[in-house]
Amino acid sequence: MDPLPHELPADTVRRVASELRCLPTDERVALRLDEEDKLRHFREYFHIPKMQDLPPIDLSLVNKDENAVYLLGNSLGLQPKTVKTYLEEELDKWAKMGAYGHEIGKRPWITGDETIAGLMTDIVGANEKEIVLMNALTVNLHLLLLSFFKPTPKRYKILLEAKAFPSDHYAIESQLQLHGLNIEKSMRIVKPREGEETLRTEDILEVIEKEGDSIAVILFSGMHYYTGQHFNMPAITKAGQAKGCFVGFDLAHAVGNVELHLHDWGVDFACWCSYKYLNSGAGGLAGAFVHEKHAHTIKPALLGWFGHELSTRFKMDNKLQLIPGANGFRISNPPMLLVCSLQASLEIFKKATMKALRRKSVLLTGYLEFLLKHYYGKDKAETKTPVVNIITPSRVEERGCQLTLTFSVPIKSVYQELEKRGVVCDKREPNGIRVAPVPLYNSFHDVYRFINLLNSALEAAERKDNGV
């Protein structure tokens, strides 16, 4: 169901309900939205976990053969069915020809990462030469900071958002320490206003305007892992660069979730993991971006033989011919098995396209928001219903598919009861439950089922917490 031009998701839901002559909360609305979803067949490309296989499931509460309600693609994406085939192809090649596999087959191992980099261009909005697939996310963040963070007595700070993901926080702390800098003075953290959960763009821009002359690098996440806030990346980039800062992003929660245009926005550098929305499996091959404007000026600080031009790499003469740009940052030979799983997923993205996925995502998450507000919104507080608060921004431009929920009742039991009923989502400190309907494999009916299961989980949690 495509929204009409400029139609808000809630209006689409109401319009469909009125066409069906039913309430917007009726199951038929979810089924109609699925029927009209042009991307619905992509769900078939993935293994959807079954209720019976989930460790915390209570089989007395569910139909064991039913699909789980998997809403955790923001943490670990589901497995594309072709992963196994691709892995088997490489395992077979290895078994049959050993080292000859380096140069032969669909994915010669020496250039395996390069064979799939082209599949990433539309996802991050970059040229192939600006993208490199290597290592894991935090490792890449370190490698990029080693090159982009060159503090001087006047310009020595790194600017980041409050409650950044711990790994980013530690990476920044340790980079500052490497330069002998005082962490308190050099780690400039932008916090939300008193009583607010998310950051206002104007507040971020104000800090950049006021303190930009002393900031060497701005390192923000594209999408905050906890609140689900999608930061205004082009505005931050423009403001930072106007003040002479390098601007980089951790795209762990943005890549494959929202449309990105790293090249056109002029972002200096970025890095991301691939096991969340990009479905490459735990510990999958990560990515990094270095804008082409830096190809000949910003060099890797740490070198390895895979940063050397392929044409002369195997001359073994120890005379480095560094590949300009992102690919020069490679240190080691690519992990072939990780290339397979990432390729399987990226091929699906190529077919679906980020544009179409994002369009569906806006409606899918909008439908979830609509139902949550309908049953558990603040205005229902007079009734005895528990209130579910959505801390993720309500403006579509400021969020991706994830909504972070806080509850007027203790969440521990609510979360346990959801798990028992086959809802796969997660609980994050201090008090949020993150729910992410992923447009590639989640359906509108998944969202409908989630709301019903949430209802029964809340009732069961209340009984448990009251000792009934």
Ligand X SMILES: Cc1ncc(COP(=O)(O)O)c(C=O)c1O
Binding residues (CB under 6 A) for ligand X: these are 136-138, 165, 167-168, 221, 225, 250, 252-253, 273
Name the 3-class secondary structure at 379: helix
435: enclosing H helix or E strand: strand 432-435
Residues 6 or more apart in contact with residue 44 via CB below 8 angstroms: none
Exposure string over 23-49, b if 16+ CB within 10 A, otherwise e = ebbeeebbebbbeebebbebbebbebb
Binding site per annotation, positions for pyridoxal 5'-phosphate: 137-138, 165-168, 221, 250, 253, 275, 305, 333
Residue 378 Cβ vs ligand X, minimum distance, rounded to whole Å: 29
Binding site per annotation, positions: 137-138, 165-168, 221, 250, 253, 275, 305, 333
Q: Which is nearer to ligand X, 273 or 424 (CB)?
A: 273
Q: Which is nearer to ligand X, 57 or 137 (CB)?
A: 137
- In sequence order, what DSSP letters do the residues of 30-70 get, joined into one string? HHHHHHT-TTGGGGGGEEPPBGGG-TT--TTTS-TTSBPEE
Q: How far is CA 439 from CA 25, 118, 222, 254, in A?
A: 20, 22, 19, 14
Residue 388 Cβ vs ligand X, minimum distance, rounded to whole Å: 24
CB neighbourhood size of 391 (10 A)? 17
55 upstream amide cis, omega within 30 of 0: no
Q: Which is nearer to ligand X, 224 or 420 (CB)?
A: 224
Output the six-digit token pair for 329. Answer: 């940052």
CB neighbourhood size of 152 (10 A)? 8
Q: Which is nearer to ligand X, 12 or 404 (CB)?
A: 404
Phi and psi for 145 in degrees, rounded to 5? -65, -35
Q: Tabulate helix, strand, coil % of the chain (nearest 5).
A: 45, 15, 40
- Residue pair 2/12 in contact by the 8 Å Cβ criterion: no
List the end-to-end C-alpha distance of the chain, in Å, as a whole number: 44
Q: Which is nearer to ligand X, 226 or 441 (CB)?
A: 226
Residue 270 Cβ vs ligand X, minimum distance, rounded to whole Å: 12
- Residue pair 249/417 in contact by the 8 Å Cβ criterion: no
Residue 338 Cβ vs ligand X, minimum distance, rounded to whole Å: 12
Q: Which is nearer to ligand X, 76 or 301 (CB)?
A: 76
Task: Report the length, in residues, of the chain.
Answer: 468
- Residue pair 124/262 in contact by the 8 Å Cβ criterion: yes
Residue 341 Cβ vs ligand X, minimum distance, rounded to whole Å: 14
Q: Which is nearer to ligand X, 250 or 417 (CB)?
A: 250
Residue 221 Cβ vs ligand X, minimum distance, rounded to whole Å: 5
- Residue pair 51/64 in contact by the 8 Å Cβ criterion: yes
Residue 169 Cβ vs ligand X, minimum distance, rounded to whole Å: 9
Q: Which is nearer to ligand X, 29 or 270 (CB)?
A: 270
Q: Which is nearer to ligand X, 137 or 278 (CB)?
A: 137
Residue 224 Cβ vs ligand X, minimum distance, rounded to whole Å: 8
Residue 423 Cβ vs ligand X, minimum distance, rounded to whole Å: 20
Q: Rounded CA gap, 115 and 122, in Å?
A: 15
